[in-house]
């Protein structure tokens, strides 16, 4: 089969996307496919239109890749593609919209609000959010991933600086209550039947699970299954499947949580094109479930084809 792997792009996660794309290309070539890597640029439309590709494997992270834009391009070109469709992709990259929908569905989300950077950093606003959410609190761009632009702010000055930093990446900024506990992630596959993968606990050498911890060998560690009570593992699995359903995801997703001391699972975000590098979380959880990386990529391609042919929903 002739497959285009879309990777790179123009988001802050470009380098991670290139690494994901390289690993996906190698896996698909190992399955016998003819694979081209296509970087997202002004020539992408022409390359996909004229390349006689049978499927597009989307390995783009962040905006202009994970937000429904290239999914829409594939729809216009009538090309099968992997992962979620236009609407689910656009919803999941938008942390505010995701949170609002999941709160309405009864999913536990740490208290949050959105700040518009156009308003400028105001001392009264900083004072109010500190009073509302306590310290430390979380500040991050609404539409970025890989913890880019994220700060755990420990005092009012740090909150003000965090707002400025996050606004470099998105004028829309999320301010959220910090929940202390165990960081876990849960992979969900739907190719097409929904399968929730084992819980994975994340430990790391950095103060937070930041970009360095995620993508530097030896700076973070994956523990499968997560060292949380069985009831919390089951709760995380149930909430992951529910979030996947409510948001209309397809193919794959990775759902991130904090599990507090009481065992409650607080959902942080849903990633529709999670990292697929050699250090990423979803491939590890799939492997723990008996699905090697090349098989994972093959399943995603086959699902894209079947969806395009109308054999599976939506």
Q: Quick check: is 250 catalytic?
A: no
| Catalytic residue of the set 25, 254, 299, 307 | 254
Give CA–CA dist 295/167, Å, rounded: 39
Q: Quick check: is 290 catalytic?
A: no
| Catalytic residue of the set 11, 84, 271, 280 | 271
β-bridge partners, 266: 258
| Catalytic residue of the set 256, 280, 284, 307 | 256
Q: Quick check: is 215 catalytic?
A: yes
**How many secondary structure helices (H) and strands (E) does the chain include?**
11, 12
| Catalytic residue of the set 62, 149, 251, 275 | 275
User: Which residues of the chain form beta strands (DSSP E)?
Assistant: 2-7, 34-39, 55-58, 112-116, 137-141, 151-153, 172-177, 182-190, 194-204, 220-223, 251-259, 265-271
Contact at 8 Å (CB) between 260 and 180? yes
Q: How far is CA 117 from CA 63, 114, 130, in A?
A: 18, 10, 17
**Tokens representing 43?**
């020539």
Give CA–CA dist 52/228, Å, rounded: 48
| Catalytic residue of the set 20, 84, 99, 146 | 146
Q: Quick check: is 78 catalytic?
A: no
Give CA–CA dist 140/244, Å, rounded: 22
| Catalytic residue of the set 11, 66, 215, 251 | 215
Q: Quick check: is 170 catalytic?
A: no
Q: Quick check: is 209 catalytic?
A: no
Q: Nearest CA to 229 among 237, 221, 219?
A: 237
| Catalytic residue of the set 210, 269, 284, 298 | 269
β-bridge partners, 105: none
Q: Quick check: is 99 catalytic?
A: no
> Residue length, the chain?
314
> For strand 2-7 and strand 55-58, is the pairing parallel, antiparallel, or unpaired?
parallel
| Catalytic residue of the set 8, 13, 94, 145 | 13
Contact at 8 Å (CB) between 162 and 153? yes
The 3-state DSSP class for residue 211 equals helix
Q: Quick check: is 275 catalytic?
A: yes
Sequence-distant (≥ 6) Cβ neighbours of residue 131 within 8 angstroms:
none
What residues are labeled active site? 13, 146, 215, 254, 256, 269, 271, 275
């Amino acid at each position: 089969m002739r497959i285009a792997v879309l990777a790179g792009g123009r988001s802050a996660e470009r380098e991670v996307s290139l690494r994901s794309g390289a690993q996906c290309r190698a896996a698909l070539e190992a399955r016998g496919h003819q694979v081209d890597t296509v970087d997202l640029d002004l020539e992408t439309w022409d390359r996909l239109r004229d390349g006689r590709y049978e499927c597009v494997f989307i390995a783009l992270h962040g905006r202009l890749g994970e937000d429904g834009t290239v999914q829409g391009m594939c729809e216009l070109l009538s090309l099968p593609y992997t992962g979620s469709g236009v609407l689910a992709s656009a919803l999941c990259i938008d942390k505010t919209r995701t949170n609002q929908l999941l709160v309405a569905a009864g999913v536990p989300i740490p208290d949050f609000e959105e700040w518009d950077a156009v308003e400028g950093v105001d001392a009264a606003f900083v004072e109010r959010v500190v009073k509302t959410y306590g310290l430390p609190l979380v500040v991050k761009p609404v539409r970025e991933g890989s913890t880019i632009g994220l700060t755990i702010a420990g005092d009012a000055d740090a909150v003000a600086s965090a707002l400025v930093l996050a606004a470099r990446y998105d004028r829309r900024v999320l301010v959220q209550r910090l929940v202390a506990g165990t960081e876990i992630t849960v992979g969900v596959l739907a190719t097409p039947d929904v399968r929730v993968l084992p819980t994975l606990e994340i430990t790391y050498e950095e103060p937070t699970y930041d970009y360095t911890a995620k993508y530097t060998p030896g700076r973070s560690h994956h523990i499968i299954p997560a060292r949380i009570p069985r009831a919390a593992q089951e709760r995380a699995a149930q909430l992951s499947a529910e979030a996947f359903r409510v948001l209309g995801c397809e193919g794959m997703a990775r759902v991130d949580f904090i599990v507090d001391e009481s065992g409650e699972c607080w959902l942080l975000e849903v990633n529709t094109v999670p990292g697929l590098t050699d250090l990423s979380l979803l491939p590890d959880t799939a492997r723990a479930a008996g699905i090697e990386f090349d098989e994972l990529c093959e399943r995603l391609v086959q699902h894209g084809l079947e969806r395009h042919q109308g054999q599976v929903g939506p």
